[in-house]
Amino acid sequence: MSQWSQGRIAPHGGTLVNRLLQADPREYAHFPALELSERSYADLELIATGVYSPLEGFLGEADYKSVVEHMRLASGLPWSIPITLSVAEAEAPRYRSTVRLTRKGETVGLLEVAEQYRPDKQKEALEVYRTADPAHPGVAAILSQGEVNLAGRVSLFRLDRGEFPEHHYTPLETRRIFQERGWKTVVAFQTRNPIHRAHEYLHKVALEHIDGLFLNPLVGATKADDVPAQVRMEAYRVLLARYYPKERVLLGVYPAAMRYAGPREAILHAISRKNYGCTHFIVGRDHAGVGSYYGTYDAQEIFGAFAPGEIGIHILKFEHTFYCKTCGSIVSARTCPHDGAHHLILSGTRVRELLRSGASLPPEFTRPEVAEVLRAAYRDEAVRSA
């Protein structure tokens, strides 16, 4: 199938997966239960709703090894991160056929176990995360997993739209919305951080050339010190209310858990947005990075490992942008002739320090409405901790 179908981009692999099962979960109460972690539940939803198309379940051994070693499924289709489900070795014999997947004790889905195998955790860490350092949150997650992976097709009984139901869309829904709005080109943007003026600059540069903007912040599990999803979403809402053309923007959550895999995760994020129906995806500096494990632009450079068109979504690569006091605007090294003494650049650490102290964030860094949302959140946190 062509990457394009009736003016819209085709899903990864050509078919949009739908593994939502219309059935009563009580009918499956006799099957052995497996409690899912936050990340595994997120993976279940993303598979079942088609965000992870063409995956229909957790990876088998051939796909797992191919993804780890070659960033491709066994079929040759690009895929960068193994989506797996593990159990302890002692528990594995219980899960030989149909497994009832639970979340907080409630039955949410099924897994038809097709095979069991042992992952090579060390190799997976080194290839996917480029480090075996247990201080890396993604590596720590691998090391804490069970010794046996369960593979097979999954089903989800009911879509839980979580804390943001009005912004929680499936790919079928976003594709319909894009078509209804007449958007032939759509650019997606993701962040797990609060929105600021440099982000806004990227969005609006893209909108000069592209029909619609899909703001798609990640709201799944993140590190404890990341800004909570509720705060980030409220910051988006107040920003969109005053500074964006409403008819050209859609705010929708990305219910994935962060893996902090840097370059490899950038590919997964791009494929996910392709499945939502987006034609373009913004990748800036240090996308999905953590600490100093990845180079500033590694997440952009990794796309060069694939032939043009293989990923099937256009990648918009932006350099680091910042406010220049002399230029009087948001700029990048490509457009600003002034040195660092003229630039206003606040690290995440410095932003958190200012917020905890009750100080205002500079309007050159973020809109006053957004700054107030962040300051109120940190003020409330301080009250709760007192």
Active site residues: 192-193
Shortest CA distance to 233 belongs to which of 249, 248, 219, 250?
219
Residue pointed to by tokens 């997966």: 17
Cis peptide before 263 (omega within 30 of 0): no
Contact 50, 12 (CB under 8 A): no
CA atoms of 242 and 238, how far apart (whole Å): 7
Backbone angles phi, psi at 260, to 5 degrees: 60, 40
Q: In what order do the strands lie in the sheet with 343-344?
A: 329-332, 321-324, 343-344
How is residue 127 annotated by DSSP? I
Q: How far apart are CA 124 and CA 139, in angstroms?
A: 9
Strand runs (DSSP E) across the chain, as ranges?
A: 4-5, 8-9, 33-35, 57-58, 85-87, 98-103, 106-117, 148-156, 186-189, 212-215, 249-251, 280-283, 314-317, 321-324, 329-332, 343-344
Q: Give exposure, 314-348, as e/b (b: 16+ Cβ within 10 Å).
A: bbbebeebbbbeeeeebbbeeebeeeeeebeebee
Integer angstrom CA distances of residue 89 from 116, 118, 143, 345: 10, 9, 14, 49
Q: What share of the chain is helix, strand, coil (3-state, %, to 5)?
A: 35, 20, 45
* Helix (H) or strand (E) segment spanning residue 41: helix 38-48
